[in-house]
Structure 1
Amino acid sequence: MGRKGARDGAGDDVEAVLDELYALPPSDFVPRREERAAAARTAGRADDARRIHAARRPTLAAWAANLLRRSRPEEAQQFLELGRALREAYATLDPSGLKELSAQRRRIVAELSRQAARLARDAGHPLSDAVQRDVEETLRAVLADPEAADRWAEGRLESGLTPPAEFPGVSASGTSPSTATATRTARRGPAPATAPSPAPVRKKDELAERRRQRQEQARAAAEAAEAAAERLRDRRRERTEAEASVERARERRDEAERRVAEIEQQLGAAREELERADREQRDAEKRGRTAADALTRAEREAKEAAREAKRLASR
């Protein structure tokens, strides 16, 4: 993201500019990149301008994966840590453990890819099924490949990532190296008996201890995977509840707007009625004043006529 106060491009940290660019939807990327590069050139920062201009617009899947990384930083960090634990665990688990861990891995990737799709839809860029599958491929690569994990952690993917054909530490047959070695040994049969010596015994004890530690790490990774899946389910449930709350609030707002419109309509009609009553009152008052004036004149004329009649009668 662009840093606070970095508005004109001059003096901006180039890393902040790149963060800002890769947070934008692909449709906004190129115009903003050219604007930032031009600002850097104007500010005399030719090297920064070249680096900014060299940034490639991300695909929609890459942008959605970047959006997930930036919008869910805590969950993304847990996902990266889970990938490290899984890569260690896959080297020591037996086939049954690998099957369980693989199922958890698929579940977590599916949950996160759905989160990415929701974030993209909320940002006005819904993902097609094909693009969402590319996001899932990217997330699988992040779990399996440490280099892919480092690239995603930067939040600047330009295109989707491809996971390796096999998870690290797993052979084509689906077994870990330690399991495969034990299987080959069992097929060959036990080695000829030899008198034990202290050094091999110590080495055997050390190997057993390391294997025990790896198995503990594998169990911890499995537990972490399940906990991460539970957290994802919780976040999804919270999101659903929040969306329901938003919908209820929107309905209440629409109802309030409807009531306000009705009241405003009634108020408008009442104002028109009041204005009519005011006009009628003014007209009536005017007619009343005119009638009063006419009455006064008539009374005056009647008095004058009476005086005249009296005067004539007295002659």
Structure 2
Amino acid sequence: MSLQNASINVRHFIIGGFDTLSRPIAVGVVILIAYFLAVLANIANIMFIISDKRLHKPMYLLICNLAVVDIMYTSSCSPTMIGVLLAGVNTISYVACLIQMCVFHLGTSMESFVLAVMALDRFIAIIYPFQYHSYLTNTRVLVLTFIVWFVNWFFVFYLPATVVPLPHCSSRLRYTFCDFAAVLRTTCVNPDKYFNEVAIVTFFILFFTFVFICLSYCGILLFVKLSSNNEKKKMGSTLVSHLICVIVHYCPAFVRIIFTRFGVVLTFEERQGLLIGAVLGPCLVNPFVYCLRTKEIKQKLLKIFKKKHYIHMNSINREKYIKCTNMQTSF
């Protein structure tokens, strides 16, 4: 039987990645809470940076861009997983599935490139502190950000261009949402060739960005050796935030994408867990790391809480004053 005769007209996909889950509601609630916190924290970071003109600087523009990427990345698949686990909606239309696939992989690659650009920012800030504002202006950062988005869209366009022409023999997705591997496995062709092509592109993106970050760190460490102890502490504090974000993003990505190509065998559940963790982990950790470790954003948060506390205490004191006045009047 030919592929054309065996193929079916797919209008909807059935998401079957959670079929073997023993406690779907509990997992759904965890994903819902993580997604809500990630979106809320990233929106808060964006609002803090936009509303304060003092934060309109290259580093904060990059933090803002990272927050936008995180919102897009986690929103590409989290609502689908929450819908399957909590609402029982386990179908997705063909077009929506392709859009989800593109946005998810765009978020994956953008996360790597944004962290690489942020490493460059830290490298220039530490090695060339006096020339920093002449090397990295807001305009140059915006242009660089636009180039990064454009390059990543160019990579992502390969995915629908590959999948759309292929005939489909199944409408059931093995995984928890529409990524390239899940959609490709529903086609009637041998997926190994396409997996190898995507693995090469993915390896190039991860390897290039990770090596670039490592080289930036090496340059900073060599410079730190020649600095005083006070300068070392300041440099260390500026790097810790970025280093945490790098570890959270690259560790599951390397295990799931790179190591499995070199013989590391993962069970279906382990692969699913790494995939979900690779999405929710960075998007949840990044905003809290930069919110708690960046001095200007932390000070802005403290001012907001102090202002609210001050207003609350004033209202309590006003109520007490009114009560005392009423008691004196009655006497």
- Normalising by structure 2, we get a TM-score of 0.25
Which is greater in Rg?
Answer: 1
Instruction: Report 1 or 2 for greater relative contact order, CA contacts < 8 Å, sequence distance ≥ 6.
Output: 2
